[in-house]
Structure 1
Amino acid sequence: MSFIPDSYSPPRFFQSDSFSLEVLSPKFAAQDFASVTASADAIRHVFGPANGWPDPQMSFAENLADLERHEREFLDHQAFAYSILSHDQEAYLGCLYIKPIKSRIENDLRKTAYGAQAFFWLDSQETEGNFSAQVLAELQMWLKNAWPFSATVFPGRTIGWPEWEHMATGSHCL
């Protein structure tokens, strides 16, 4: 089940002023595994405060299976994952994930407010200065201008985790 229109062809590549994106696939297995394991503590809760990925004992084979799954999801239009690369495409900087908002909560307000949710992590060597904020700003502009979503949210970045969770049930965070 796709969360984008059948007529929309998701970009396989994107070049911004600061970085480039390419579909996350097994092509990046060695670079991704090295970056994920070296930056595990820095990226551990990107998908939520209770999310424990990556497992400290994750193997290369497990990471490769994740990359294969991400590529299948992309091809099936279920979710879209990208490798974040340096502008010259020489360095592996992290990953971007664009996903539908899944919830078992009836009338989840997040689903009506946003067409998609996005998450990204950067290699711990790339978190100095304002690079993360720059990446966020450029991704927001790209998602707004090039994708068919009404709005895209970056939980944990553009909205705090408590507000994001409270939004699911319509309650307000004080």
Structure 2
Amino acid sequence: MHRTFEDQRTGDDMDLTGLTKKLAIAPGAVVPRNLKHGRVQAHAISRDDLEADVAGINASLDLIRRTRGGSWPTGPVTLEGNYVDLVWHEAEFRDDKSYTYVLTNPDHGYIGCLYLYPLGVRRPLTEETLHHDVDVSWWVTPPAYEAGLYAATFEALRGWIGDEIPFTAPFYSNREIPC
């Protein structure tokens, strides 16, 4: 269980170890379930995406590690294991704890995933990231990457965040950030 940043604020010296910064959404604001920008669309991930998600992850293991970074995935995923993850993502979205989207493109279909997490969940919370309000990461499949859709997703994110998604200070935590 993570402690929240708000629980540990004690003057100038803060121990941020193990803390998370709660996602703060303005009263009345809604995180959309569907998004579209240029060549990239996104919809809230659900169990209906199971087969495409498993195939996409398993075809992209090395590319995910290279572009997104982090410790996931540790290896190929199974239908059973990924089903549990998708149910968890659905519940997190419903409860405004985190937001996971499937990325699609008219020419390529399923192209990857987008994650909006509280700071401190994916990477440790630091003084550098305290002023950000959401940790944003994404990955795409190898054919989508070759088609320029990794960079197109970053462009879409910069359009969505603040305009459609109610966050204003994103921290893009991917290892590879397009120029």
TM-score of the pair, normalised by structure 1: 0.78
The structure, 1 or 2, with the larger RCO (C-alpha pairs under 8 Å, 6+ apart) is 2
Q: Which amino acid aligns with 1:60?
A: L
Matched with 2:31 is: 10
Q: Which moved more, 1:103-112 or 1:136-145?
A: 103-112
Structure 1 unaligned segments of length 5 or more: list them. 160-174
Matched with 1:77 is: 96
Structure 1 residues 16 and 58: CA distance shift in structure 2, 3 A = same
Q: Does 1:67 align with 2:62?
A: no
C-alpha separation between the residues in 2 aligned to 1:29 and 1:153?
28
C-alpha separation between the residues in 2 aligned to 1:121 and 1:129?
13
More helix by share: 1
Aligned ranges 1:38-49 → 2 under 5 Å:
38-44=59-65, 46-48=67-69
C-alpha separation between the residues in 2 aligned to 1:106 and 1:14?
28
Structure 2 unaligned segments of length 5 or more: list them. 1-21
Offset of residue 47 of structure 1: 4.8
Matched with 2:130 is: 111
Offset of residue 147 of structure 1: 2.5
Count of paired positions: 155
Offset of residue 66 of structure 1: 0.8
Structure 1 residue runs of 4 or more that deviate by more than 6 Å after TM superposition: 103-107
Q: Say whether the 8 Å CA contact 1:40–1:54 is kept in structure 2.
A: yes
Q: Say whether the 8 Å CA contact 2:65–2:72 is kept in structure 1.
A: yes
Q: Which amino acid aligns with 1:125?
A: P
Aligned residue for 1:68, secondary structure, equals helix
C-alpha separation between the residues in 1 aligned to 2:125 and 2:55?
40
C-alpha separation between the residues in 1 aligned to 2:45 and 2:124?
30
Structure 1 residues 70 and 46: CA distance shift in structure 2, 3 A = farther
TM-score of the pair, normalised by structure 2: 0.76
Offset of residue 45 of structure 1: 5.0
Q: Does 1:142 align with 2:160?
A: yes
Aligned ranges 1:151-170 → 2 under 5 Å:
151-155=169-173, 156-158=175-177
C-alpha separation between the residues in 1 aligned to 2:111 and 2:125?
37
Offset of residue 153 of structure 1: 2.0
Identify the match of residue 36 of structure 1 among 57, 60, 81: 57
Cα deviation code 1:57-105 (max 9, x no counterpart): 43211111111111110000011000001137x7111000011112797
Aligned ranges 1:49-60 → 2 under 5 Å:
51-60=70-79
Q: Say whether the 8 Å CA contact 2:31–2:165 is kept in structure 1.
A: yes
Q: Say whether the 8 Å CA contact 1:45–1:52 is kept in structure 2.
A: no
Q: Say whether the 8 Å CA contact 2:129–2:171 is kept in structure 1.
A: no
Structure 1 residues 108 and 128: CA distance shift in structure 2, 3 A = same
